[in-house]
Amino acid sequence: MSPARFAVSIALWSLTTLHANAEPVSIAAAVPKTNITTDLTDIWWPDAEPGWGIQFVHNADIVFATLYVYGGSNQPTFFVATLQNTPVGGGTWTGTLYSSTGSHFATNWNPAAVGETAVGTMTFDLSGVGAGTLTYNVGGTNVIKFIKRQPLRLENNDGSYRIYHTWSTVGSACGSADAYTAPASGALQIFGVGDVSIVTISLADSPVQACQMQATYSQSGRLGLYTGNIVCTPTGRTGAMMLYAVQNRPKMLTAEYTINWSDGCIRTGRLAAVSFTP
């Protein structure tokens, strides 16, 4: 799947600028998260070995895994596991692997035919946002595979949004204008034109900065990624920006971002964006 280019426009300003009388609002981590870790919900596969894979459904600190592979007779078979995040907040999930039996799909359901047999263990170690190592065993057979999120179709993130975001900075070049004092709100616009588009980003700090970026859009499974260079006015500040783990929800987006300013200051943040259109 070839990457697409998108046009993005962001405006950030203080919460009090938009709502002078607004009370502080508490919003959970804006990334596609479970409030504990990166959300693993997706179809995962080894892209060099099409034909088998695993589906993760993530809720809180557990993941339900459905592994679809081929058995000893080269016939389709599947295994299931409930994986626990261990330790909670870390990048590892582990649990018992089961095979199951049940009624034939074309016959009446017979609860007495349902059964599960523990056949081994399964562990998944996440590396980054879109890749990880799957380790499991069935009896005495041990398997280790590097897997990635499987993209199905590029999301259409076009729209105008109100955003709410938090951030942190690191680096001796970071000044008072970069410092995080409180969650801030602003506006986000995304415009895509085919596979190649112009990308524009505006950031409002102190002073307000209007930034332009030409970004390439791609996806890891259902999570989007915008990368490109930005140039800001009136400060003339430049850098590279990555808007990643972008998750498209009905009338809203969530994402993380990193800006590596050319002066050495690094800004990382999280945002939630709600469409202006109900």
DSSP string covering 223-277: EEEEEEEEEEETT--EEEEEEEEEEEETTEEEEEEEEEETTS-EEEEEEEEEES-
- What is the per-residue pLDDT for 204? 57
Give per-residue pLDDT as tens, 109-132: 999 999 999 999 999 999 989 999
CA nearest neighbour of 135 among 98, 95, 100: 95
What pLDDT is stored for residue 245 in this prediction? 93
Provide DSSP, 15-67: HHHH-TTPPP------SSB-SSSB---EEEE-TTSTT-EEEEEEETTEEEEEE
Check if the beta carbon of residue 243 is closer than 8 Å to that of residue 255.
yes
At 2 the pLDDT is: 45
Residues of the chain under the 70 pLDDT cut: 1-35, 193-206, 208
pLDDT value, residue 199: 53
